[in-house]
Amino acid sequence: MLAHATHLRLFWALVLTVLTTGCQLSPAQPDQSLYQQLGQRAGIANIVEDLLYLIVDDERINQAFKGTDVKQFHRNLTDQLCELSGGPCTYTGRDMRKLHADMAITDTQFNALTENLILAMEQNQVPTGAQNRLLKALIPLYPDIRHL
């Protein structure tokens, strides 16, 4: 009888905890996808546009982009980031390794571009967690771009 009463007390304590902490017995909502957090393809296109302005103003890397077809770069980088973030896009640009092969890109240049991408995401109110997730998704491309 005593054991029964104890169990009953524990049961009501649990019910009370669930009610007061807002704990849900149903499964939690899945995390918003990175693609959604970036604002879908339109949001990513805005980020890439702002990135382009930052590149033009950045003495560390703007020389490398002289003569670049801006429209093509914008479309291809937007598709690439859209695909990498889980969006319904397919990158149809050139092979990353071949494309960056003759540029002898330094770590300083790579970091400069990354810095500008972070700034462009900031300008578009992308939450810090989502910024980091996109940067993480770009890590596998590093050896191709740096040609290691």
Site for ligand HEM contains 82 (CB under 6 A): no
What is the amino acid identity at position 33?
A: S
Within 96-135, the residues that bind ligand HEM by CB under 6 A are 99-100, 103, 105, 109-110, 113-114
- SS3 readout for 108-136: HHHHHHHHHHHHHHHHCCCCHHHHHHHHH
Nearest distance in Å: CB 80, ligand HEM: 4
Q: What does the alpha-carbon distance between residue 121 and residue 85 come to, in Å, rounded to a whole number?
A: 14
Residue 133 CB neighbours (<10 A): 19
Task: State which residue, 16 or 70, has the beta carbon closest to ligand HEM.
Answer: 70
Nearest distance in Å: CB 114, ligand HEM: 6
Q: Which range of residues in 7-15, 33-41, 72-80, 122-130 is near ligand HEM by CB under 6 A?
A: 72-80
